[in-house]
Amino acid sequence: MNKNLAIPKTVIPAIGRILIAALFLVSGLGKLMAPGATMSYIASLGLPAPLLGYLGALILELAGAVLLVAGYRTRIVALLLATYAVVTALIFHHALADQNQMFHFLKNFAMAGGLLQVAAFGSGAFGLDARRAPASQAIA
C-alpha cells in the first residue's frame, strides 16, 4: 500500500460526511424558509398531518446534517437518514415516467447507499465518535 495515501485516508470519511450532510442541510433550510410550500406538497399527495410531516422532515434533515458533520452517533444517524432517503424516494418520487422524478428517486437511493457506507464504517478519525469509543464499536 502506498504510504502517501495514509494522511488523506484519515480525512476522506470526514469529507464524505460533509458532502452528504450538505444536501440534507440545504434541503432542511429550504423547508425552514418555505414551510407553507412544503406542507402544501405533503398535503397534495394525500398524506395525513402535513404539519407533523413537515416538522419531522425539518428536524431530521437539519439535526441529521449537523450530527453527521460532527461525527456524533454517526452510525445511527446515517441509518436514520438512509431510511429517510429511501422512504421519501418511494413516497415523493415514485412517478418514474417523469425524468425529473426518476432522477430524484435515483439520487435518494444513491444517498442511502453512501449513508449505509457511513453506517458500516463509522465517522472515521475526524468525528466525535472517534473520541468517545474504540473504532470497533457496534452501531450505537
- List, run by run, the mean pLDDT of 10-residue segments along the chain (140 residues): 66 95 98 97 94 97 98 98 98 93 96 97 92 60
Angle between helices 6-33 and 74-92 (to 10 degrees): 50
Q: What is the pLDDT of residue 49?
A: 96
Q: What is the pLDDT of residue 123?
A: 93
Q: What is the pLDDT of residue 3?
A: 61
Residue 4 DSSP label: G
Instruction: At 43, list the grid cell.
Output: 398535503
